[in-house]
A and B are shown apart, each in its own frame.
Chain A
Amino acid sequence: MLNQTPSLPQYPDKVSLFSTLRNFPMFSSYQKTEIVVCIFLLGCCLFAFISIRHLPTDAKMFPNLILAVMSLFVGVALIRAVMGISQKTQGAKAADWHFFANPKRFIISVIVFSIYLLSIESVGFFTSSGLLIICMATFVGYRNYLHLTLSLIGFLAFVYLVFILVFERPLPKEFFLAATDTCHIALVRYHV
C-alpha cells in the first residue's frame, strides 16, 4: 500500500503563500487530511457556538472562551497545513505518509467491532467476544487455528475468572442462558 505513494510536492526553503497557491493541486495526503480535519473542527466549533448561544451569559462564558481559543488555533493549524509548515515539522515521516496503514483491514476491523457492539446485548458477552476474536484474527489472515482456539479459551476463562467471579461485573447474558430463563418463566406461568 505504501508503495503506491504519488510523487510529493517539493517545498522550497522559504514557504510563501504564492508558492503554496501555485502548488495547490499538489497537496500531499498528510496535508489533505490535516486540512479536512481542521475544517471539520472549525465546523464543530461553529456548531457548538450556535448550540450554546441561548444559554445565560454565566453558563456559556467558559465554553465560549474555549471555543474562541480553539477556533483561533484551528485556524492557525489550517494555515500551517495549507502552507506545508506542519508537514515540515514531522520531517521524513510525512513524506511517505498515508492515513490508513491498510484501509481494507481498518474498514473490516471497524465493521466487525460495530457488529459485535450491535449484537452483544442479544447474543451475550462470551459468545460474541469469542466470535469477534475468531472473525478478526481470521479476517486479517491468522490461520493457526490451534493457537487461536487455545488463546481464545484462555482469554475467555481469564475474563470469566477475573471479571465475573472476582470483580462481579455485570455483562450481557448469553443468549442460550437467556432462552433457558425465558422457557423457565413460561413454564412457571403455564403451570400457575
Chain B
Amino acid sequence: MFDFVEPLFNALPLVFELENLIGMVVGVTAGMIVGSLPGLTATLAIAVLIPLTFSLQPLVALGMMAGIYNGAMYGGAVPAILLKIPGTPPSIVTTFDGYPMGQQGRAAYALKIACWSSAIGGVISAISLMLFAPPLVKLTLLFGPAEYFWVAMFGLSSIAILLGKDPVKGIIAACLGLLFGTVGSDVVTGHQRLTWDFKYLIDGIDLLVILTGLYAIPPAIQMLEKAVLKGFTAASLKLNPEDSILNNLSSFIPVWLRGGIIGIIVGILPATGGSMAAFISYNETKRVSKEPQTFGEGNPLGVAAAECGNNADNAAAMIPALVLGVPGSGVAAVILAGLLVHGLQPGPSLFRDTPDIVYGFMWQMFFTSILLIAFGGQIAIRLFAQVMRLPQTLLAPMILCLTFVGIYSLGNNMFEVWLMFGFGLFGYVLNRLNFPLAPIVLGLILGGMAEHNLRLSLLLSQGDWGSLFQNRLSQILIVLTLTILSMPLLGMIRRKIKKQSTSER
C-alpha cells in the first residue's frame, strides 16, 4: 500500500539539484508574470515554453512547467485585486472580494492573503497527488487493450462535453484532434495517411506545432486587434502596507482546509478546472459564514477561499493525467503534452520506469507552491505591477516572435512554422465560434493510444468487435462514457420539464 514512499523520497535529492531549483524559480517567476497579465494564461505560457525545453533534462523542464502552472494561477489574482480584471479565468472569483478590499485601501493585505492561500492550496493539492496517484496507477494494471480504448473514449468525451458551453462543438473539436493524430505513416501497415505526399507530414504533425498554434497565436492576434495602447498606470497599482495574516490565522485555517478539499475533488474530476473549484470554495465559505452579507464587500475570507480552491485544483488535476493520460483540466492537458514531448508516457510504465521523474514532478508541484510565498511577496508584487504597465500592443508581437523560436528550433524547417501559423488562424476561427480547444489537444494525445488499443483488441479477438464490450471493466467505462455523453440531453429534458411545470402554474 505504501510502497510508493521509498521512490517518493528517493526523488527528493534530485529536486534539490541546482538546475532543477533554477528551473522551478524561473517557472514560478515567469508564471506569476504571465498570470498577472490579462489575456495571457498558464496554458499559453506552457505552450510557448515546451518546445524550448527540448535540450533540458525532463525534470528541469517539468519543474519549469510546475512553476508556471502554480505561479500563473496565483498571478491572476494581482490584476483581479488591483484592477478588477481577472488575469486568469479562475481569478474572476477573486475579484468579488479582492477588488473591494483594494478600493478600501487594503490591496496589499488582499494580495498577501491571495499569495498565502494559493501556496497553501497548492501544497494540499501536491500532497493529494503524492498520496492518490501511486495507488491508483496500480488499478490500471488490470486494464487490457479494450479498457484502454474505452479510457481514451471516456477522457475525450468528458473533456469534449464538459469543457465548453456547446457539447456538439466539443465533440467536433475532439474529432479534429483525433484526425490530426492520424496524419502520417500508419505504424502497422506503413501506409501514408492524409499526407498528400508532403515529406514533412510522413512522421505526423508534431504535437507542439498544433499546441503552439492553437494556444499562442489567437490571443496574440486578438491583442493586436484590440490594440490596447497603454499599460496600467503606476497610480492604479499603488500598494499600502497592511494587516498581518498571522493575526487572523484561526479564521483562515478552516477556509484553507475546505478550499483545499474542494479543489482536490474538483481537480480529479475530468474537465472541471480551477474556475469551478474557486466558485464552489467561495460559495461554501459564504454559506457557512456567520456574516454572509459581508461577502462581495471586501471580506478577506472570500479572497482566501477563491485562491485556495483555485490552486488546490492544480496538482489534483494531474492525478488522472499521470495515471490514465486523462487530464483533469485544460492546463493539465498541455502539461501532459509536455510529458509526451520528453518521451514520458502516462500510466504504470511512467511510475515503474521513471520513478525519479514522476515523483520528482510531484515534489516540484509541492515546492513551487511554497516558492509562491517566497517570490509572491511585496517586492515581487511591485515587480509584476511594473510588468502590467507594458501595453498589449508590444506584448503581442513579442509572443509571435517566441512562437517562431519555439517551432523553428524543433527541426529548423519553415514548413512547421507555417503549419503552426495555419493552426493559429484555424484556432482563431474556432475560438471566435466558441469551440473549446483543449479537446483538440487531448484528441491528439489520446488518438494514438485509442487506435493502437482498438486495433490490438480486434487483432487478439480475430476481428470480433464484441470483444470491446465483453469485459466488466470495459462495461463500466462504457456506462461512464455514455453517462457523460447523455448529460447534455438529460439537461435539455430537465429544462423542458421545468419550463413546462412553470407554465402550468
Contact = CB atoms under 8 A, between A and B. Distances in A.
B166 A171 contact: no
B225 interface: yes
B150 to A, nearest CB: 14
Contacts of A66: 175, 178-179, 182
A78 to B, nearest CB: 10
Contacts of A60: 193
A136 B220 CA distance: 11
Interface stretch (A4-12, A16-24, A102-110, A174-182): A102-110
B227 A141 contact: yes
Given A66-B175, A170-B412, A171-B408, A151 B390 contact: yes
B398 interface: yes
B229 A62 contact: no
B194 A140 contact: no
Contacts of B398: 133, 151, 155
Interface in A157-172: 159, 163, 167-172
Contacts of A70: 172, 175-176, 179
A153 interface: no
B394 interface: yes
B286 interface: no
B297 interface: no
Contacts of A77: 168-169, 172
A90 B434 contact: yes
Given A62-B182, A136-B396, A69 B226 contact: no
A109 B391 contact: no
B227 A105 contact: yes
A163 B225 contact: no
A41 B171 CA distance: 13
A99 B224 contact: no
Given A33-B432, A89-B166, A109-B221, A120 B194 contact: no
Interface stretch (B8-16, B183-191, B355-363): B183-191
Nearest to A168: B55
Contacts of A163: 52, 405, 409
A55 B195 CA distance: 12
A34 B168 CA distance: 12
B252 interface: no
A43 interface: no
A106 B227 CA distance: 10
B393 A63 contact: no
A181 B182 CA distance: 43
Contact of B400 (A58, A90, A106, A113): A113
Contacts of B418: 117
Nearest to B192: A55
Q: Tell me if B's interface is mostly helix, strand, loop or mixed.
A: helix
A108 B193 CA distance: 35
Contacts of A120: 404
Contact of A90 (B165, B414, B425, B450): B165
Contact of A148 (B55, B171, B394, B402): B394
Interface in A101-156: 101-102, 105-106, 108-110, 113-114, 116-117, 120-121, 125, 129, 132-133, 136-137, 140-143, 147-148, 151, 155
Nearest to B398: A155
B499 to A, nearest CB: 9
A48 B397 contact: no
Contacts of B235: none
B417 interface: yes
B454 interface: yes
Contacts of A62: 182, 450-451, 454-455
B455 A58 contact: yes
Contacts of B186: 55, 59
A148 B175 CA distance: 43
B461 interface: no
Given A41-B172, A109-B225, A133-B394, A159 B165 contact: no
Interface in B157-208: 165-166, 168-169, 171-172, 175-176, 178-179, 182, 186, 188-189, 191, 193-194, 196
Interface in B414-452: 414, 417-418, 421, 425, 429, 432-434, 450-451
A33 B182 CA distance: 27
B405 A171 contact: yes
Contacts of B409: 163, 167, 169-171
26 contacts: A48-B179, A48-B194, A51-B194, A52-B193, A56-B189, A59-B191, A59-B193, A62-B182, A63-B193, A63-B194, A66-B182, A70-B176, A70-B179, A80-B168, A90-B434, A101-B222, A101-B226, A108-B224, A114-B421, A129-B401, A129-B404, A133-B397, A141-B227, A155-B398, A155-B401, A171-B405
Counting from the closest, the 10 A-B pairs by CB-CB distance are A70-B175, A140-B227, A169-B409, A136-B397, A101-B225, A59-B186, A62-B451, A133-B397, A109-B224, A129-B401
Interface of B: 52, 55-56, 165-166, 168-169, 171-172, 175-176, 178-179, 182, 186, 188-189, 191, 193-194, 196, 221-222, 224-227, 229, 390-391, 393-394, 396-398, 400-402, 404-405, 408-409, 412, 414, 417-418, 421, 425, 429, 432-434, 450-451, 454-455
Given A58-B455, A171-B405, 7 more contacts: A37-B429, A62-B182, A67-B179, A102-B225, A117-B421, A140-B393, A159-B401
